[in-house]
Amino acid sequence: MARSAIEHDFFSKKKESNGLPPAVKSHKIERRRSFRDIQGVISKMNPEVVKSVIENGSLGGNKRKPAVSSPKETQTNISPFPVCDPTLRLGCGHNGKNDEKNAPMTIFYNGIVAVFDVSPNQAQGILKVAEERLPESAELSESNPYNQENLLDGDFPMKRTKSLQVFLKKRKESRGRNSS
Amino acid sequence: MDERRWKNLNGCSSSGRLSCGGATSSSSGQYETVWECVIPYVQDPRDRDAVSLVCKLWCEIDAITRKHVTIALCYTATPQRLSGRFPYLESLKLKGKPRAAMFNLIPEDWGGYVTPWVEEIVRSFGRMKVLHFRRMIVKDSDLELLATSAGRVLEVLRLDKCSGFSTDGLLHIGRMCRNLRNLFMEESSIIEKDGEWLRELALNNTVLESLNFYMTYLTEVRSGDLELIARRCPSLALMKISDCDISDLIGFFRAAASLEEFGGGSFSEPPGQVGEGVFNEQLERYADVVFPARLCRLGLTYLGKAELPIVYPVAARLKKLDLLYALLDTEAHCQLLQSCPNLEFLETRNVIGDRGLEVLAQFCKKMKRLRIERGDDEQGMEDVEGVVTQRGLMALARGCLELEYLAVYVSDITNASLECIGSHSKNLCDFRLVLLDREERITDLPLDNGVRSLLTGCHKLRRFALYLRLGGLTDEGLGYIGRYSPNVRWMLLGCVGESDAGLLEFSKGCPSLQKLEMRGCRFSERALAMAALHLTSLRYLWVQGYRPSGNCRDLLTMVRPYWNIELIPARQVVVPDQDGGEIVEDHPAHILAYYSLAGQRMDFPATVTPLDPNTLI
């Protein structure tokens, strides 16, 4: 990376925890902070939140296990520390030009380090979602609640036991025979 | 533990002796002996469960003296684990398909095969005398294996709502199981090849006490074989059969001197519906039917008004009456029930009407169990009076104070009637209410307060079902159910509540709830998963109808060790319709989740998918 990454303290470890530091304020990554600390903090986060953040960032390859070792570790195989998967990068439709608007955003989750090139607005959006509680199937429940209800009611006709069904059918048939 | 010690231990409870041989003289030996004598008398499975947790010795004593085990879902344990834990079992009850299978909601090949169990029984359970398979798939080969290997020991075989076998399998049972006292096949789907199995049973058995093939639609039944059974089996107390004209059973009834319960048979229809002549003709045909002297439980299929005179002579001693498949209108119900002062158990359709319930309340004070099923909805098919509402319920509650079981389909309902049940029906253990969907307007909804009153009043309630409609019960009402059902172990909830909040409130309560079934509610997957985690006693959950998340992602919330989750995705089922054609039915998705020591099962059909968390992350 040519320039330093923006680090956002959205684990609220530092005092400033709201909003996003503008691209202008470039902080150095605190390389002193160990991966274990980060993992410890991540484990306190609601996994649903982090997962949705990753998904919102259109992370396509999150099913794959990370295969590349972390920059700190020299071993390549089994590493207890988060490993960086350089393929997990979000392109935001820019050609990789040195655009002032876009900056790398690094997310640590479940042993994976993911880096995205996002604009400040996109980053803000992602963080907003991360800070909110995950809405419960929001899209499904809020749109057309009555349609949902109708659908559910219509699909559950009351059922009879088999014996009763057979009996009522036979009775109907015999009445039909008698009347004709 | 050696055979001698086992004999001593089991000798204690079976013979009633308190002194047991084989005790050592040391004080710890005598101490052991005391427990060895006491524990076999402990029968309740929950007490036994507690006993087995005290110490290794008690666990061992429990293990070798346990006589009966019920496995509520056959996939919760393996046959090998059962035989390892309870090697001397004499009685086993296994259940397979979800209860919804009784209503045609579960694919036929869902599972619940008895084969692995039968193989283990034959291999390891030399003392198995009583077998009860409920809603399971039984093959002819299973029956053959049982008959050849365990035939001499088997005393009770109950194939309860099972399927997959034919009369060929029964042939083996009839031939080899000479000690069979009880053969039960009610509501099983049996492939009929011929009627030879009944003949074999008649020829080879003299100890039969109970034979039940009610609602099996077997047509090759010969009344001569039934009469042969009655003559050769002096202890025959129960006979329930498929269709067979009652006039052909006159000889049978004469021979079955010990008969206490009869169900099934049929009546041929009167040739026309004109004039007095019809009734007289029917009467002549059936006039010679005389029920045995001890008969006190009766159910006659297609029983009509014209044939009632054959029932009146025994009405006064009837304790149980099955009118589910009778052809009686409301008035006929009233007339008959007036003559049954000793009635304790009645099953019928809602044609009984409010008026019939009022008669019941007035004349049948000993009523313990009442089941009112749903008759035909179509106009003109049932009696116009044939609806049950709050009026009938209130009369029933006030009049029949001994009621323990009440299951009823109502067309209208009020909170007051539920409060009335709560005030009067203090012995109620099992309550099931279904609100029919025919009437658009219901007198008094939501039922929150009535349900609360019922639950607080009926403190012995163990089983509870409430099937309503949109607006029938609010989230607050659902919360009441959670709060006021301390002893309820099984619940069916249909179309109740308004939102996830209701379910979550409900799941904070129900401390004893082991088995929960839900249908047609509007809860999200996430709420269902959270509820499953909150309900402290829950070991079995069945849901049809819920708001899905994408890819079952939200169900992951309830993933945990020993908790199996299965899905039956939404499907379309072709069924025969009333006019002989076919229609396509939409079946919404199901979730089934249960605790299991056996891991995920290996016999999924195409229609059922296990939830594998690894594929979803």
Distances (CA, A) of B535 to A84, B462, B464, B507: 41, 16, 16, 5
Q: What pLDDT score does B100 carry?
A: 95
Please tell me the total count of domains within chain A. 1
Q: What pLDDT score does A63 carry?
A: 42
How far apart, in whole angstroms, are the C-alpha atoms of residue B396 and residue B362?
A: 8
Task: Give contacts of A148 with chain B, Cβ < 8 Å.
Answer: 522, 547
Query: In this complex, is the C-beta atom of A160 within 8 Å of any C-beta atom belonging to chain B?
Result: yes
Q: What domain range is A117 assigned to? A: 102-132
How close, in Å, is residue B586 to chain A by CA atoms? Answer: 7
Residue B452 inside a domain? The answer is: no
How close, in Å, is residue A30 to chain B by CA atoms? Answer: 31
Task: Please say if the pLDDT value at position B435 is more than 60.
Answer: yes
Worst-scoring range by mean pLDDT, A77-81, A86-90, A139-143, B514-518?
Answer: A139-143
**Exposed, middle or buried, B27 (CB in 10 Å: 0-12/13-18/19+)?**
exposed
Residue B573 inside a domain? The answer is: no
Residue B464 inside a domain? The answer is: no
pLDDT average, residue stretch B488-517: 97
Q: What pLDDT score does A155 carry?
A: 67
Please provide the size of chain B in residues. Answer: 617
Are the beta carbons of A140 and B273 separated by less than 8 Å?
no
How far apart, in whole angstroms, are the C-alpha atoms of residue B206 and residue B231?
A: 9
Worst-scoring range by mean pLDDT, A70-74, A129-133, B603-607?
Answer: A70-74
pLDDT higher for B73 or B8? B73
Please tell me the total count of domains within chain B. 1
How far apart, in whole angstroms, are the C-alpha atoms of residue B534 and residue B504?
A: 8
Are the beta carbons of A140 and B520 separated by less than 8 Å?
no
State the DSSP code for B494. Answer: E
Under 8 Å between Cβ of B517 and B545: no
Query: In this complex, is the C-beta atom of A64 within 8 Å of any C-beta atom belonging to chain B?
Result: no
Are the beta carbons of B520 and A152 separated by less than 8 Å?
yes
Q: What pLDDT score does A140 carry?
A: 39
Are the beta carbons of A149 and B375 separated by less than 8 Å?
no
The helix-helix angle for B167-176 and B196-204 (nearest 10°) equals 10
Q: State pLDDT tens for residues B217-229.
A: 999 999 999 999 9
Residue pairs spanning A and B at CB distance below 8 A: 89
Q: What pLDDT score does B36 carry?
A: 81
pTM for the model stands at 0.78
Determine how many CB atoms are found less than 10 A away from the CB of residue A101: 13
How far apart, in whole angstroms, are the C-alpha atoms of residue B196 and residue B193?
A: 9
Q: What pLDDT score does A55 carry?
A: 57
pLDDT average, residue stretch B236-258: 96
* Six-digit token string for B480: 């009441």
Q: What pLDDT score does A129 carry?
A: 72
Residue A163 inside a domain? The answer is: no
How close, in Å, is residue A86 to chain B by CA atoms? Answer: 20
A contact residues 82-141, partner B, Cβ 8 Å cutoff: 136-137, 140-141
A149 to chain B: closest CA residue: B522
Task: Give contacts of B500 with chain A, Cβ < 8 Å.
Answer: 136
How close, in Å, is residue A46 to chain B by CA atoms? Answer: 12
**Exposed, middle or buried, B102 (CB in 10 Å: 0-12/13-18/19+)?**
middle
Quote the percentage of chain A above a pLDDT of 90: 5
Nearest beta carbon to residue B324 from set A63, A164, A172 = A164
Q: What DSSP string runs through B125-157?
A: -TT--EEEEES-B--HHHHHHHHHHHTTT--EE
Quote the percentage of chain B above a pLDDT of 70: 92
Q: Could you tell me the pLDDT band of residue B549, with boundaries at 50, 70 and 90?
A: confident
Residue B137 inside a domain? The answer is: no
pLDDT average, residue stretch B505-524: 96
Among A123, A115, A43, A47, residue whose Cα is nearest residue A83 = A115
Residue B52 inside a domain? The answer is: yes
Are the beta carbons of B187 and A163 separated by less than 8 Å?
yes
How close, in Å, is residue A152 to chain B by CA atoms? Answer: 6
Are the beta carbons of A156 and B554 separated by less than 8 Å?
no
Task: Please say if the pLDDT value at position A17 is more than 50.
Answer: no
How far apart, in whole angstroms, are the C-alpha atoms of residue B509 and residue B476?
A: 13
Task: Please say if the pLDDT value at position A64 is more than 60.
Answer: no
Distances (CA, A) of B114 to B132, B149, B338, B564, B615: 11, 15, 45, 20, 30
Task: Give contacts of A141 with chain B, Cβ < 8 Å.
Answer: 524, 547
Q: What domain range is B50 assigned to? A: 36-66
Range A167-176 contact pairs with CB under 8 angstroms and sequence separation of 24 or more: A167/B301, A167/B324, A167/B325, A168/B375, A168/B376, A168/B381, A169/B578, A171/B327, A171/B376, A171/B381, A172/B376, A172/B378, A172/B381, A172/B578, A174/B269, A175/B381
Determine how many CB atoms are found less than 10 A away from the CB of residue B547: 20
Q: What pLDDT score does A47 carry?
A: 59
The one-letter amino acid at B390? Q
Q: Which ipTM did the prediction report?
A: 0.89
Q: What pLDDT score does A33 carry?
A: 47
The one-letter amino acid at B272? G
A154 to chain B: closest CA residue: B520
Nearest beta carbon to residue B545 from set A155, A163, A171 = A155
Determine how many CB atoms are found less than 10 A away from the CB of residue B266: 18
Are the beta carbons of B273 and A178 separated by less than 8 Å?
yes
Among B338, B291, B326, residue whose Cα is nearest residue B311 = B291
Worst-scoring range by mean pLDDT, B159-173, B345-359, B574-588?
Answer: B574-588
Give the helix ranges, DSSP H, for B311-441. 312-315, 330-338, 353-363, 390-399, 415-424
Residue A121 inside a domain? The answer is: yes
Q: State pLDDT tens for residues A92-106.
A: 434 444 445 788 888
Tally of CA atoms within 13 A in the half-sphere of B18 that contains its CB: 1
Are the beta carbons of A161 and B102 separated by less than 8 Å?
yes
Under 8 Å between Cβ of B531 and B508: no
Q: State pLDDT tens for residues A137-150.
A: 444 333 333 333 33
**Phi, psi (degrees; rounded to nearest 5) at A29:** -70, 135
Q: What pLDDT score does B188 carry?
A: 97
Are the beta carbons of B269 and A149 separated by less than 8 Å?
no
Are the beta carbons of B527 and A136 separated by less than 8 Å?
yes
In this structure, the strands spanning B515-519 and B490-494 are parallel
Are the beta carbons of A140 and B548 separated by less than 8 Å?
yes
Are the beta carbons of A172 and B434 separated by less than 8 Å?
no
How far apart, in whole angstroms, are the C-alpha atoms of residue B30 and residue B386?
A: 66
How far apart, in whole angstroms, are the C-alpha atoms of residue B427 and residue B577?
A: 42
Under 8 Å between Cβ of B395 and B357: yes
Task: Please say if the pLDDT value at position B531 is more than 90.
Answer: yes
Q: State pLDDT tens for residues B51-70.
A: 999 999 889 989 999 999 99
Q: What pLDDT score does B28 carry?
A: 52
Convert B112-122 to b/e letters by CB count within 10 Å (16 or more is b).
bbbbebbebbb
Are the beta carbons of B526 and A137 separated by less than 8 Å?
yes
Distances (CA, A) of B149 to B172, B185, B233, B308: 11, 21, 24, 47
pLDDT average, residue stretch A157-177: 88
* Six-digit token string for B468: 């309503």
Query: In this complex, is the C-beta atom of A75 within 8 Å of any C-beta atom belonging to chain B?
Result: no
Residue B61 inside a domain? The answer is: yes
Under 8 Å between Cβ of B594 and B76: yes
Radius of gyration of chain B (CA): 26
Q: Could you tell me the pLDDT band of residue A67, with boundaries at 50, 70 and 90?
A: very low
A174 to chain B: closest CA residue: B269
Task: Give contacts of A159 with chain B, Cβ < 8 Å.
Answer: 103-105
Nearest beta carbon to residue B437 from set A158, A166, A167 = A158
Are the beta carbons of B495 and A149 separated by less than 8 Å?
no
Among B324, B362, B364, B370, residue whose Cα is nearest residue B345 = B370
Q: Could you tell me the pLDDT band of residue A51, with boundaries at 50, 70 and 90?
A: low
Residue B526 inside a domain? The answer is: no
Q: What pLDDT score does B25 carry?
A: 40
Quote the percentage of chain B above a pLDDT of 90: 79
Task: Give contacts of A160 with chain B, Cβ < 8 Å.
Answer: 103, 373-374
Q: Could you tell me the pLDDT band of residue A91, with boundaries at 50, 70 and 90?
A: very low
In this structure, the strands spanning B91-95 and A103-109 are unpaired
pLDDT average, residue stretch A141-160: 52
How far apart, in whole angstroms, are the C-alpha atoms of residue B130 and residue B183?
A: 10
pLDDT average, residue stretch A23-49: 50
B469 to chain A: closest CA residue: A153
In this structure, the strands spanning B590-595 and B563-568 are antiparallel
The helix-helix angle for B140-150 and B115-124 (nearest 10°) equals 10
Angle CA B435–B436–B437, to nearest 5: 115
State the DSSP code for B547. Answer: B
Under 8 Å between Cβ of B348 and B383: no
Are the beta carbons of B325 and A155 separated by less than 8 Å?
no
How close, in Å, is residue A162 to chain B by CA atoms? Answer: 6
How far apart, in whole angstroms, are the C-alpha atoms of residue B81 and residue B94?
A: 14
Average pLDDT, chain B: 91
Are the beta carbons of B375 and A168 separated by less than 8 Å?
yes
**Exposed, middle or buried, B208 (CB in 10 Å: 0-12/13-18/19+)?**
buried
Among B393, B449, B447, B390, residue whose Cα is nearest residue B425 = B393
Q: What pLDDT score does A24 carry?
A: 40
Determine how many CB atoms are found less than 10 A away from the CB of residue B576: 10
